[in-house]
Amino acid sequence: MTDSPTAAPIRTAPATDATGVSAPDPRRWWGLVIIALAQLMVVLDATIVNIALPSAQKALGMTDGNRQWVITAYTLAFGGLLLLGGRIADLVGRKRTFIIGLVGFAVASAIGGAAQSPALLFGARALQGVFGAVLAPSALSLMTTTFTDPRERGKAFGIYGAIAGAGGAIGLLLGGVLTSYANWRWCLYVNIPIAVVAVIGAAILLHDRPGHSDVKLDVPGVILGCGGLVAVVYGFSEAEPRGWSDSLVLGLLAGGVVLLAAFVLWQMKAKSPLLPLRILADRNRAGCFLTMGLATIGMFGLFLFMTYYLQGILGYSPVRSGLAFLPMSASIIIGSTQISARLLPRTPPRLLMVPGMLLAASGLVVLTQLGVDSAYATHVLPAEILLGLGMGLTFMPVFSTATHGVRPQDAGVTSAMVNTSQQVGGSLGTALLNTIATSATTTYVGSHLTDPSRKAQVLREGIVHGYTQAIWWGVAAMLIAAVVSGVLIVARPTGRGGAPAAAAAAH
């Protein structure tokens, strides 16, 4: 059997399948390259500016208090508007939405790269998030409707899952290289050539039917759902600098929960709901959404801590720090494309997700043993490999299972829910784990600083102690994800050819 995706034969070629899509496009694998390129751009932009932030802060004169908006403005718009972006894809067509998202993202990146004031940079990052929220759901839903043969679907989603998992680490590496050898502005400008290539490729290679005329935009649902998500993501982001007991943080989180509760009630009676509750009623999809959210809590927390640990404790340069994440990216790619993609056609998804989450949790456990003098080769590298393999095993079946068999008119919003789970989990993980780490560091320094001459050493020890205490919470999130995927996800293997095997009773 050949492993080349371009040579993979189609066992059966029905005129239409469960999603109503016609026979496979002969150029679909080149289309996958375009979709993957766009997805990589969106994912890496969540982390690429992290390493460049000190340089940007100095160049534009940002204060320590408002510099976090370079990150928050993007995640806030992206996470809050994903559901709307998914519904727009269903309404006007996935290919058209995909191209609009690419063009808008490139324009926003150009504005941000040329920004001469903090406010303009913050606004450009928010605009990137808006168009990212349009782009990401259309990319995943194009994947869903393009690859329907079970074996090809496994390979395609393996590649997509690898990009989703490794994109953050690639962003750290690229950010370090561009900041060190070019300028921090190129962390934004780099999106322009990527988007240009993707727009040209999408126009030539991607095919999609027009939007569904029966899909209407649910305006009250947009206000309640997007408003609730924005409030929750904003609250998580503000918890990092302000603390969880701050009145603004509590008000945002409480208000977000109220809005989301009202959103659910409205969706029960809306004629054209923004998020049809039948999507959440499917236990396999609900399990995938929860698993994704919990998994990214630990993963995004790791990116944050390891960046500071490598540079602040081990003294790595930005480029060396980025290179240090490469083994994790490679492990994610191997776990997703070489293990999950090969096993999913004949293996129930939960038999990949549960071991994947346990493997990822074991990688985080290794990191809880970090000290100020720990070596990269003995502590960080083994943890990255374990975590990467675990995330690769998990992400691919999550994407494939969550979007499998969805109605064509719901493909965009279902894809948006997968991305929303990832984004909200990442925002929660960054805010929650960083707050825990800061508190643990303060407590440690206060109880161990008895000799003023050892202040610098105790502070370093306290910082690492804070990291390790917070990472234990990441371990807990991974273990809960293992339980969720083992209990809720009961889908059967997709099969190696022909029609997918029937799902187990999933309602």
Contact status, residue 161 vs residue 36, Cβ threshold 8 Å: no
Q: Is 300 in a helix, a strand, or coil?
A: helix
**Identity of residue 395:** F
Contact status, residue 231 vs residue 253, Cβ threshold 8 Å: yes
Question: What is the per-residue pLDDT across 386-424, written as a single tens digit (0 to 9) for each?
Answer: 999 999 899 889 988 888 777 777 777 887 888 788 877
Q: What is the mean pLDDT of residues 220-246?
A: 83
Q: Which of 132-141, 353-362, 366-375, 428-437 has the highest mean pLDDT?
A: 353-362
- Residue 338: which of 381, 399, 394, 392 has the closest Cα? 392
Confidence of residue 3 (pLDDT cuts 50, 70, 90): very low
Burial of residue 19 (CB within 10 Å: 0-12, 13-18, 19+) is middle
CA distance 184 to 96: 32
Confidence of residue 346 (pLDDT cuts 50, 70, 90): confident
In this structure, the number of other CB atoms found within 10 A of the CB of residue 269 comes to 7
Give the burial string for 390-427 (b: 16+ CB within 10 Å, else e): bbbbbbbbbbbbbbbbbebbbbbbbbbbbbbbbbbbbb
What tokens appear for 457 in the block?
A: 């050493």
SS (H, E, C) 64-109: CCCCCHHHHHHHHHHHHHHHHHHHHHHHHCHHHHHHHHHHHHHHHH
Distances (CA, A) of 125 to 80, 153, 260, 316: 14, 33, 25, 27
Confidence of residue 348 (pLDDT cuts 50, 70, 90): very high
Confidence of residue 276 (pLDDT cuts 50, 70, 90): confident
Task: Kindly report the length of the chain.
Answer: 507
Question: What is the per-residue pLDDT across 421-476, written as a single tens digit (0 to 9) for each?
Answer: 887 787 777 778 888 888 888 889 888 888 787 888 889 999 999 989 999 999 99
Half-sphere exposure of 230 (CA within 13 A, CB side): 15
Report pLDDT for 354.
96
CA distance 477 to 424: 14
Confidence of residue 478 (pLDDT cuts 50, 70, 90): very high
Distances (CA, A) of 54 to 63, 70, 175, 184: 11, 11, 12, 9
Contact status, residue 352 vs residue 393, Cβ threshold 8 Å: yes
CA distance 216 to 242: 40
Report pLDDT for 9.
33
In this structure, the number of other CB atoms found within 10 A of the CB of residue 268 comes to 8
How far is C-alpha 489 from the geometric centre of its chain's CA atoms?
Answer: 20
Report pLDDT for 292.
92
Confidence of residue 349 (pLDDT cuts 50, 70, 90): very high
Confidence of residue 213 (pLDDT cuts 50, 70, 90): low
- Taking 70 as the threshold, does the pLDDT of residue 135 lie above it? yes
User: pTM of the prediction?
Assistant: 0.77
Report pLDDT for 214.
60
Confidence of residue 21 (pLDDT cuts 50, 70, 90): very low
Question: What is the per-residue pLDDT across 44-86, written as a single tens digit (0 to 9) for each?
Answer: 787 788 777 778 888 898 876 677 788 878 887 888 888 888 8
What tokens appear for 210 in the block?
A: 């027009």
* Torsion region of 211: left, alpha or beta (phi above 0 gives left; psi -120 to 50 gives alpha): beta
How far is C-alpha 423 from the geometric centre of its chain's CA atoms?
Answer: 5
Tokens 């990009």: give the residue: 163
- Taking 50 as the threshold, does the pLDDT of residue 259 lie above it? yes
Q: Which of 111-120, 231-240, 296-305 has the highest mean pLDDT?
A: 111-120
Report pLDDT for 165.
66
Q: What is the CA radius of gyration of the chain?
A: 22
Report pLDDT for 209.
64
Contact status, residue 264 vs residue 299, Cβ threshold 8 Å: no
Calculate ∠ Cα 263-266-267, nearest 5°: 85
Q: Which of 10-19, 106-115, 180-189, 491-500 has the highest mean pLDDT?
A: 106-115
- Taking 80 as the threshold, does the pLDDT of residue 17 lie above it? no
- Taking 80 as the threshold, does the pLDDT of residue 241 lie above it? no
- Taking 50 as the threshold, does the pLDDT of residue 14 lie above it? no
Tokens 């990527």: give the residue: 194
For the chain, give the mean pLDDT. Answer: 82
What tokens appear for 420 in the block?
A: 């929303």
